[in-house]
Amino acid sequence: MREDPFVSVIIPTYKEEKYIEQTLRSIKNQDYKGKYEIIVVDSNSKDKTVKIAKKFADKVIVTKKRGVSVGRNIGAKISKGDVLIFVDADTMLLPNVITKVVKHLRKKRVVGVVVPIICDDLANNIFYFTASWIYYLLTKLRLQPVYAVCFGCKREAFFKVGGFDERLHVAEDIELGSRLKKLGDVEYVKDTFAITSSRRLKRWSVFKQLKAWPLGYFSFKLLNKQPEYPPVR
């Protein structure tokens, strides 16, 4: 990989007019020395999401298909980057996130990088702090989990494993990690983070949030189906 590879930042959206501008501004303000593009893939929102995205993103694609896995895969297919970074639409990046992700991905054995998350509501940060440390410990145990709120990977590895499974509505990132680990390591960044909204914790209980990931993953693996979880906006 080159010293400063071209990076594609991919954001799937659906009715995200409340958050998308701050997300895109944070991506535009990165300190990365190389070139990067911003791609927004919208699931036919009827609010102002697309209008706002066009002010900041290099590419804005609208699809009638619904789902973050679909949006991420579409974005990856039209991207030009050797590095792909997937960011949720309600998540702001510190200015050094792209730089730190690329630094890890320069290692030959590393195929993916998980960026730790805090939330915009201090009262709920204990959940994200705990989840981030669990993910960090799992990477040290070489279980290679992926948490796609902010996640980077090598383009070649992403397409070699087939991208996100579009049949999944939850735990699609964990499932992707189970395939990526066959190609190399997934590392955890310790010296930067992203800030995500607390809307899921406000709508769901912490218990429901924690239950959704393993339940969704193992339901799919064992029964080839998942429980339905409506989008939180």
What ranges make up the beta strands (E) of the chain? 7-13, 36-42, 59-62, 83-87, 91-93, 110-114, 117-119, 150-154, 185-188, 194-196
Comparison of pLDDT for 173 and 77, the residue scoring more? 77
CA distance 164 to 158: 8
Residues making up the chain, counted from first to last = 233
**Model pLDDT for residues 99-147, shown as the tens digit of each residue:** 999 999 999 999 999 998 888 766 555 666 666 666 566 656 555 567 7
Comparison of pLDDT for 134 and 196, the residue scoring more? 196
Pairing type for strands 7-13 and 36-42 reads parallel
- Report CA 188 to chain centroid distance, whole Å: 13
CA distance 109 to 187: 10
- Domains along the chain? 7-223 (3.90.550.10)
CA distance 20 to 44: 15
